[in-house]
Chains A and B, each alone.
Chain A
Amino acid sequence: MDPIGRRTLLRTGLLAVAGAMAGPALLTACGTGGEPAARPQQDGRRGGTLRAAFTGAGAAETLNHFTGGTAMDMVRARALHATLGDIDPTAPDGVRYGVLDTIEIATDLSAYTLRLRPKLTFSDGSPLTAADVLWSLMSPADNPASLPVYKNPAANFDFSGARIEDDRTLVLPTLTPIADGRLLLCQGNYLVVKEGSDFSPGTPTSGPFTLQEFEPGVGSLLTRNDAFSLPDADDAPYLDGLELRSIADSDARAAALTGGQIDFAHDLAPVTAQTLRGDDRFTVSSTEAPYVSGLFFRMNLAHEPFRDDRVRTAFKLAADRQAMVDSVFFGDAVVGNDLMSPGFPDYAPEIEQRPFDPDRARRLLREAGADGMSIALTTGPETPGMVEVATLYVENLKEIGVDATLDELPAGQLFADYPAYARLPLAASFSVPTPALPLYQMSYGGQNPSALGWDRPDVDALVAEARGSSGAESAEAGLAAQQVLWEEGNTIAPVFKPFTTAAVPGVSGVADDLFGQFPGFSRTSLS
């Protein structure tokens, strides 16, 4: 995935075909609308208002999640609008449905039939129908301002041939046969909005909450939507209210938490999280794979030395991955194997873990005649830990005889001039949780500019074959594609970091929503 700015973490992050299990049960915390402590509850489960803080973007925040790419925009949208479903490997179809009852796949993979649960309504009492689902999936494709993730369904399904068979049944033909359409549609970020919605504050909602107050850059106040229900939890949502606060800086979110101004702080920097771990007043939780974000470096194949496989391998062997995990993330991260999406079903865990082997790296560089080569690694503080990991990697490169330097750009600049970014010889980036094969197609294969010169039609074909088949055939093609990427690819992915949150004691059920990087709070309760 690729070059993403702080805003586009979220914008591409929304791609997150989040999979599998959420991390350990998250947080605890309680809160009330404007009080520093949790409000007592009548029945011990329902009630209370949770105050939570997320990264926002000032005036750029919007109720239209098709165009708004901050964490605040996505979390607010998930609280307001019901999902089609979330990825859940423990479920029979690999997904846990939201408004859907089932997704049936034609045997020839030519069409997907989406069936809605009965008697669904919006907060104004109007019925939620297949037409609303179709509009929610289709309308972003026509808007140039839509985030790329919301255009993705149109890249896989033929909306012009879509059929609404009745209020609860929608048939979506595929553009080319795909077997992973359920994963694609049930990513946690595809939400159902009323057909023709203008996203004004009065728009009826289908999710666990309704909007009472919205002030871009400041926050939102939401109250429980009694028209909402979950198939497996009749009395959810449990919270009376949800106060979402926009606080851009990780340290400021932590300060608001320790000062009693909020009950839940999202996406904390490693040092901040480590500090809070030592404080008994708070519970710190981190997501686990696959809900982790990859920090990686990409070698530009237009840059002569990197055209040699031996140089690319040397650069991969030079990375002291465990040291990065230990020193930057205090052990709270996952060692990467130069492949994206660890933990997702289509990731290839069979491929051996690449070792830290500076001696072999030196030998390979010498053989390639590249020892002593000069290179600048360009990075920026686009996500916590990114600069620190790059700093350590530059030291690793120096140890194998590379004349490496670090070019650290100010926040927000790394991806600001994208054509210039695509010309960098060695560039840092980060990914968000997304299954491996759709991610390859979206941001790496097909001569995608973010791949920095990777152009391998044979691997593109293997990925297409894996996505267009199932069972052993799919697994074999997927493994073969990732084996080539591991051996010959131009990506060094040494670390995958979690999304770390902290809360005061008393909150439970945040992680039960799945899609751990952007909690929707439909199952959160206070005690």
Chain B
Amino acid sequence: MNRWAFWLRRLVAGAVALVALSLLIFGATELLPGDAVSAVAGPTATEEERAAVRERLGLDRDAATRYLEWAGGALRGDLGTGYLGARPVTEVVGARLPHSLLLAALALAVTVPVAVVAGLAAGMRAGGPVDHAVSAGTLLVAGLPEFVLATLLLWALAAGPGLLPQVSMVPLGGSPLDAPEILVLPVATLAVSGIAVATRLIRARTADIAATPYIEAARLRGVTGPRLALRHVLPNALGPAVQALGMVTGALVGGAVVVETVFGYPGIGRELQEAVAYRDVPLVQGIALVLCAIALAVLLLTDLLARALDPRSGGAR
């Protein structure tokens, strides 16, 4: 298959997946108990007041009509307006998403080098002491839920010794980079989780490649150590590694919901959690769709990058 056909197929698959996800998101929010009327009108509202609120919010129309209107708006970049604060969803996403992307980017910047080095070191000598140590360590960390990891880090670095702030409060009118100390714990939580998962994926692929005949042949020719790892194993492991990191990146964006909530960091994840708590359906739908689109875009990009880096495709030289 030529490169352009591959790209086209991936794009179409991504678009279909996004449509399917939008249906899933809309359907899931439809299944939430109650509707926004209770939240907006208040518990003491009369039936007439509830009906007026329902009509004002457009909830008196059938679900198919509302989905088509929402999806059509999303295509035009209009994700609707939050029920409670009456703010455009795109405005909320625009304010909060950069904060979350900053967390994810910093976490990825820590994750990639550590995971590649640890994964290569463990996979090159599968079954050896380094592999045992790395595998056991990453298995332990990967098994920890993010909120547990976050709590442990909070206790170890903030609550006890007071080295770091316990709550990630962004300076008013400023950016998180104005107070970099507030980023340390959220980034560390995301990075530790990401390193554990990515290391295991890279280690597995490295071990497979290290056992192939051409690597064995290189060893017989006297190529060993870092030279073998960097010149012969790594190029073949890069493609799968990039795909693994793509999955980790998706998890980093998703993991932001937990991490941002635990640390009170004003990102898109915390906003999603608040929107769910307050039944602000347009906000939930909009944020979920944007997160899904980001995850799909990252997977698409890593697919393309992995293909370009695959020595068999002639992309990597």
Tell me, in angstroms, the Cα distance from A420 to B87 when the chains sit together.
Answer: 29
A417: which B residues are within 8 A, CB to CB?
Answer: 33-35, 38
Interface flag for B127 (CB, 8 Å): no
B34: which A residues are within 8 A, CB to CB?
Answer: 416-418, 420
B39–A5 CB distance below 8 A = yes
In the complex where A145-B53, A218-B172 touch, is A8 in contact with B43 (Cβ < 8 A)? yes
Residues of chain A in range 180-232 having any CB-CB distance to chain B below 8 Å = 213, 215-221
In the complex where A68-B85, A255-B167, A416-B34 touch, is A8 in contact with B172 (Cβ < 8 A)? no
A7–B84 CB distance below 8 A = yes
A61: which B residues are within 8 A, CB to CB?
Answer: 85
Chain A's closest residue to B33 (CB) is A417
B52: which A residues are within 8 A, CB to CB?
Answer: 144
In the complex where A221-B173, A420-B34 touch, is A6 in contact with B277 (Cβ < 8 A)? yes
In the complex where A215-B172, A259-B165 touch, is A59 in contact with B85 (Cβ < 8 A)? yes
Interface flag for A344 (CB, 8 Å): no
Chain A's closest residue to B164 (CB) is A259
Interface flag for A247 (CB, 8 Å): yes
Interface flag for A373 (CB, 8 Å): no
Tell me, in angstroms, the Cα distance from A220 to B173 when the chains sit together.
Answer: 9
Could you mark each residue 5-47 of chain B with 1 if its beta carbon is under 8 Å from any beta carbon of chain A, else 0?
A: 0000000000000000000000000001111011111111100
Tell me, in angstroms, the Cα distance from A228 to B82 when the chains sit together.
Answer: 34
B32–A416 CB distance below 8 A = yes
B297: which A residues are within 8 A, CB to CB?
Answer: none
Tell me, in angstroms, the Cα distance from A415 to B38 when the chains sit together.
Answer: 7
B33–A420 CB distance below 8 A = yes
In the complex where A58-B271, A256-B167 touch, is A412 in contact with B173 (Cβ < 8 A)? no
B83: which A residues are within 8 A, CB to CB?
Answer: 60
Taking the nearest CB of chain A, how far is it from the CB of B130, in angstroms?
38
In the complex where A412-B277, A416-B279, A420-B33 touch, is A59 in contact with B271 (Cβ < 8 A)? yes
Classify chain A's interface size: 35 or more
Interface flag for A11 (CB, 8 Å): yes
B271–A256 CB distance below 8 A = no
In the complex where A61-B85, A68-B85, A413-B33 touch, is A8 in contact with B42 (Cβ < 8 A)? yes
Interface flag for A3 (CB, 8 Å): yes
Interface flag for B86 (CB, 8 Å): yes
Interface flag for B254 (CB, 8 Å): no
Taking the nearest CB of chain B, how far is it from the CB of A314, in angstroms?
28
With most chain A CB atoms within 10 A of its CB, the pick from B165, B171, B274 is: B274
Chain A's closest residue to B48 (CB) is A144
A247: which B residues are within 8 A, CB to CB?
Answer: 167, 169, 264
Given A144-B56, A252-B166, 17 more pairs with CB closer than 8 A: A2-B43, A12-B43, A59-B85, A59-B271, A59-B275, A59-B280, A60-B85, A144-B52, A148-B41, A215-B266, A217-B96, A218-B169, A255-B167, A412-B279, A418-B34, A418-B43, A448-B44
For the complex of A and B, 3 pairs with smallest distance between CB atoms: A417-B34, A58-B274, A60-B84
User: CB within 8 Å of B: which residues of A?
Assistant: 2-8, 11-12, 34, 57-62, 67-69, 144-145, 147-148, 213, 215-221, 243, 245, 247-249, 252, 255-256, 258-259, 261, 411-413, 415-418, 420, 442-443, 448, 450
User: CB within 8 Å of A: which residues of B?
Assistant: 32-35, 37-45, 49, 52-53, 56, 82-87, 92, 95-96, 154, 158-159, 162, 165-167, 169-173, 264, 266, 270-271, 274-280, 283
